[in-house]
Structure 1
């Protein structure tokens, strides 16, 4: 199967009522484990990948290193691979396009791309983020790969008071519509846990909506009912794996 074939396969996995489940990985070894467990696609998580290699999240891990890791993952599994591209490792559209091309050429058929200004507690203006998404789409088109751009908004992550999330739904829908016109394929709303808010976004947008499982998130059956097309787990799998490692390591060292 070619990379272009895997891109088409990946896009087809986003279905309302039968959402794609992505149990996020951080390296080639965890990718192989996810494939062995029956995953239909492989998804990196930026926090997990950074932590696994001794870096903080927020583009602290060098892009060259990301490119190497993505290449190793892509060569280790035959499944579609989507990569958490954070903010694109650049602010200007040209820089984002060049960086996206590197990750696509390494084997990615999907990119998570956030609208948070990395290192700042603010979002890009819609017009600016639209130009950045268009740049990724153009880069992918030049490479002949129909990359699935999962446009992430950090509206809800930046607002710690969850009681105020209902007041951000219209703003999220506005961003979803603008990002779709710019060429994205999916809309990611991490941090939003309110059922009515998730349902409203799913109803208002024709894009597949991605929800991240975290403390307080609705269960899978509820998310299916609400219209979600993609469920991901973020740093949860890495944290669970490390907790299990510590537990087993401590038991092995006991009495030594």
Structure 2
């Protein structure tokens, strides 16, 4: 078992924050996060590209190259693998592993609101595991994200169940069901799985400790940090324009310069507190 896989089997769930550039990843690492993911929305938006349409292959690989040798374990959000050809998805996985990534997130949702056929997504997973056996594949299904995942009562729904079964059989090391927040359904899903369950944190859903009690082994923040950072920038600009005092903490120029250095200092600066 790799070090990254072991984090999915620890006593407490893996809280995986998602970075969108070198500085955000370095800042999170300085806070003690042993593993960091990337957010496809953040990477796409920072590059002026749309998310989930396979437009960010180069930007994603470039960021992985910058982060792969950092003082943390890196998992990369690769949308749907940037292709519907399993061999091409496997090639992406090889490139990510070559620059130091230890995990990849592959989703079955399409930007038009439909789902990739389960057999095709399973083939992508199998191709990646064949090409890079040690790369942790987190297989994401968007059944709940698209609003059609619920079954009857506390059930998870036949489509979700069938897809996750196919992805596990194809070799997925973990499964990811964003949009699922109901505690009873989460608990039912955990019991039905042979691999760790990843849930997307929601400010209106269960807390991290509560998700851990339900059996969730990985909790992702997705694009939340990127969107909050963007929101904070807009709020500060509005406060300054209105002539109101600004009391929010921000890193200094020198502290940001430190973040872009390869060697990260121990400890944290005052603005982190």
Q: Shorter-chain TM-score: which interval? A: 0.7 to 0.9
Residues 1:70 and 2:64 are matched in the alignment: yes
Alignment partner, residue 115 of structure 2:
123
Q: How many residues align?
A: 244
* Secondary structure of 1:81's aligned partner: strand
CA 1:164 to 1:155, structure 2 compared with 1: closer, same or farther past 3 Å?
farther
Alignment partner, residue 147 of structure 2:
159
Match of 1:191 among 162, 179, 185: 179
* Post-superposition offset of 1:215: 4.4
Residues 1:47 and 2:44 are matched in the alignment: no
Match of 1:250 among 215, 232, 238: 238
* Post-superposition offset of 1:197: 0.9
* Post-superposition offset of 1:161: 8.9
Residues 1:136 and 2:128 are matched in the alignment: yes
CA contact (8 A) 1:94 1:135 kept: yes
Q: Distance in 1 between matches of 2:166 and 2:194?
A: 12
Residues 1:147 and 2:140 are matched in the alignment: no
Q: Counterparts of 1:1-256 in structure 2 under 5 Å?
A: 8-15=2-9, 17-59=11-53, 61-75=55-69, 77-116=70-109, 118-141=110-133, 146-159=134-147, 168-255=156-243
Alignment partner, residue 251 of structure 2:
none
CA contact (8 A) 2:149 2:156 kept: no
Using the size of structure 2 for normalisation, the TM-score is: 0.82
CA 1:34 to 1:165, structure 2 compared with 1: closer, same or farther past 3 Å?
farther
* Post-superposition offset of 1:50: 1.1
* Secondary structure of 2:48's aligned partner: coil
Q: Distance in 2 between matches of 1:115 and 1:101?
A: 20
Q: Distance in 1 between matches of 2:169 and 2:148?
A: 29
* Post-superposition offset of 1:62: 3.0
Deviations, residues 206-234 of structure 1 (Å, cap 9, x unaligned): 21100001243211222111100001111
Q: Distance in 1 between matches of 2:93 and 2:112?
A: 21
CA contact (8 A) 1:156 1:168 kept: no
Using the size of structure 1 for normalisation, the TM-score is: 0.87
CA 1:163 to 1:207, structure 2 compared with 1: closer, same or farther past 3 Å?
closer
Q: Which entry has the higher C-alpha Rg, 1 or 2? A: 2
CA 1:85 to 1:110, structure 2 compared with 1: closer, same or farther past 3 Å?
same
Alignment partner, residue 4 of structure 1:
none
* Post-superposition offset of 1:74: 1.7
Q: Which has the higher contact order (CA 8 A, sep 6+)?
A: 1
More helix by share: 1
CA 1:57 to 1:166, structure 2 compared with 1: closer, same or farther past 3 Å?
farther
CA 1:191 to 1:53, structure 2 compared with 1: closer, same or farther past 3 Å?
same
Deviations, residues 192-213 of structure 1 (Å, cap 9, x unaligned): 1111111111011121100001
Residue ranges of structure 2 left out of the alignment (5+ in a row): 245-273
* Post-superposition offset of 1:255: 4.3
CA contact (8 A) 1:159 1:165 kept: no
